[in-house]
Amino acid sequence: MRLTPDSDDYIQLYSSFPAHEGSLLDLRDIEQGLENMQRLPGVQADMEIVPGEQPGESDILITRKQDKYWRLGFSLDDSGTRSTGRYLGGITFSLDNPFSLSDLLYVSATRNFPHYGGKGSKNYTAHYSVPFGYWQFSVTASDYDYHQTVAGAVEDYQYSGESQNLGMQLSRVLHRNGTQKTVLTYDVQARRSRNYINDTEIQVQRRQTAAWRLGLQHRHYISQATLDAGVSWQRGTRWFGAQPAPEEIFGEATALSKLLQMNASFNLPFTLAGQPFSYSFRYQRQLSNTPLTPQEQFAIGNRWTVRGFDGERTLNASNGWYIRNDLAWRTPLPEQELYLGMDYGEVG
């Protein structure tokens, strides 16, 4: 296996492709390697099988092109809250293939915009992921803090908080063919949060939790449509210094969560009257036989679940589900799309 002379050669083929010199030729190994390389925006890869130097042998020629090795993106939206700032501005800097491993590294920062003295929020995130044949490893860390002013009978108070999250995932492609792929995932998560009134910590709101999750995700291409389905099991632990939740004192909830989560999605692009349309469906469900803390509860009533609400107040419970439907029309204007959505969800 080798690169063609006109390819960009800043790439390690050994880590991207499961197939190596001397192995039996398996088309699925080649497909996986091409997918690993093309997971990065701006990378185009193709392959050609040619006769080898010895009878019965074949060589694989890889053609790879990468337009850019970095990206810079900006964002501005109204996904914040009135108490900490409705409008959020963000910046994301990404490095594509920084260590020639088809890896991805990005850092992002988000804060309320414009900045107000009495309220605000900031969030910083860093992510790194790298494939190795049928395996992939990723790690994501984030830091979030906010503050807001609360009116009191005599004077105003500043209510503030901070939280840190660290997550790691190891995944393995179990099966793939021309139309299907099944992936096994294992996650480990650690979270820490603190809240304050006028810089004095509220001890009963202190949280430090950890959990692991085992999941199975399947994708099936059906003609032009794409069907995804997955299931996962999450278990809270006392790893990494995790502490019991304050609710555990009275038996109201536990940080040792037991969660069964299921998801399914369907996407179908089609043409109507010469115009490009698409229909998408998404289903999400959470089941638990233990009372959960607010951080682990299932929530609906925002732009990411059941739309039509401002997200200031959500419905939360240990169990819940929702469905989302979208019918979209890609307009003649560049990067413009009109859509009609209909959602429904329940918690309990």
Residue spans of the domains in the chain: they are: 2-66, 70-347
Whole-model pTM: value is: 0.90
Position 325 confidence tier, pLDDT thresholds 50, 70, 90: very high
pLDDT of 164 above 90: yes
Q: How confident is the model at residue 51 (pLDDT cuts 50, 70, 90)?
A: confident
pLDDT value at residue 291 = 92
Sequence-distant (≥ 6) Cβ neighbours of residue 285 within 8 angstroms: 261, 262, 263, 320, 321
pLDDT on residue 179: 94
Question: Which is nearest to 288 in space by CA: 318, 309, 267?
Answer: 318
Whether residue 19 has pLDDT greater than 90 = no
Q: How far is CA 176 from CA 109, 127, 170, 181, 227, in A?
A: 36, 27, 18, 4, 14
- Do the domains 2-66 and 70-347 sit in the same CATH topology, yes or no? no
Statement: residue 69 has pLDDT above 80: yes
Which of 56-60, 122-126, 294-298 has the largest mean confidence? 122-126
Contact (Cβ atoms closer than 8 angstroms) between residue 66 and residue 97: yes
Q: What local confidence, expressed as pLDDT, does residue 23 receive?
A: 75
Q: Does the structural domain 70-347 have CATH classification 3.40.50.620?
A: no
DSSP H stretches of helix in the chain: 13-16, 27-37
Flag the least confident range among 48-62, 124-138, 277-291.
48-62
Name the band, by pLDDT with cuts 50, 70 and 90, for residue 94.
very high
Instruction: Report, as an integer, the average pLDDT of 263-269.
Output: 98
Q: What is the DSSP string of 240-293?
A: GG----GGGGGTS-BSS-EEEEEEEEEEEEEEETTEEEEEEEEEEEEE-SS-B-
What is the assigned CATH class of domain 2-66?
A: alpha beta
